[in-house]
Amino acid sequence: MKIFLILTAFCCLSPLYGQNQRAPTNINLIIDGSSSLTGVKTEVTNWIINRLDLILIDGDVLTIWSAGASARVIYTGTVDSAAEIESAKRSIRELSGSGSSADFSSALREAAGGRTSSTTYTLLISASQESLSSTISGPQGNLLRFSRVEEFSGWRALVVGLDLDARVRGAAASFFGN
């Protein structure tokens, strides 16, 4: 009888633990497409692919930008199969850096405007200190206001909280009764 109860509990409860812990999310990946990427490309590519394996779930909408002299989308799709994930990884592996600047501002502006759900995760990879500095001090600098930076040798990863400014202001106003 004990074995029956244990098996019943295991069979009934195990699907609960196997389910996704979050709703599908818009995921923006903005990668430095300047020549600065060339020296760290292998490390960056491996790190990104490992990160995607950890965070992607079925239903996520993934958009990948190459931020070179001008920002351009190199992949967009809904994660619904291993083939779709492999296609995204292939676009990252095939990315090559050229030119002296990375247009992070345009990619950030497009990512902020292209939300299809309330939850967005944006990861910006920068190998170019100059391009990142000009973005921070430029008109799209406010989009980087709520960011977390992880430093690596020769590059950095920024988790960007797009459109958090309005949410923070709303929450503060609500808290203070305004």
Quick: pLDDT tens for 58-72: 999 999 999 999 999
161 falls within a domain: yes
Q: Which bin fits 152, alpha (ψ -120 to 50), beta or left (φ > 0)?
A: beta
pLDDT, residue 4, reads 42
Tokens of 24: 């599908």
CB 71 within 8 A of CB 65: yes
Angle of helix 82-93 versus helix 41-55 axis, rounded to 10: 160
**In this structure, are residues 121 and 24 in contact, taking their beta carbons and an 8 Å threshold?**
no
**Does 31 reside within a domain?**
yes
Q: Please, which pLDDT band fits residue 145 given cuts at 50, 70 and 90?
A: confident
Domain residues for 170?
24-175
Q: What CATH number does residue 106 fall under?
A: 3.40.50
Whether residue 6 lies inside any domain: the answer is no
Domain tally for the chain? 1
Q: What contacts 24+ positions apart, CB below 8 Å, involve 80-89?
A: 85/52, 85/56, 88/52, 88/62, 88/64, 89/49, 89/52
pLDDT in tens, 9-55: 445 544 444 454 788 989 999 999 999 999 999 999 999 999 999 99
Residue 19 placed within a domain:
no
| Residue 123 is assigned to a structural domain of this protein | yes
pLDDT at 5 (0 to 100): 40
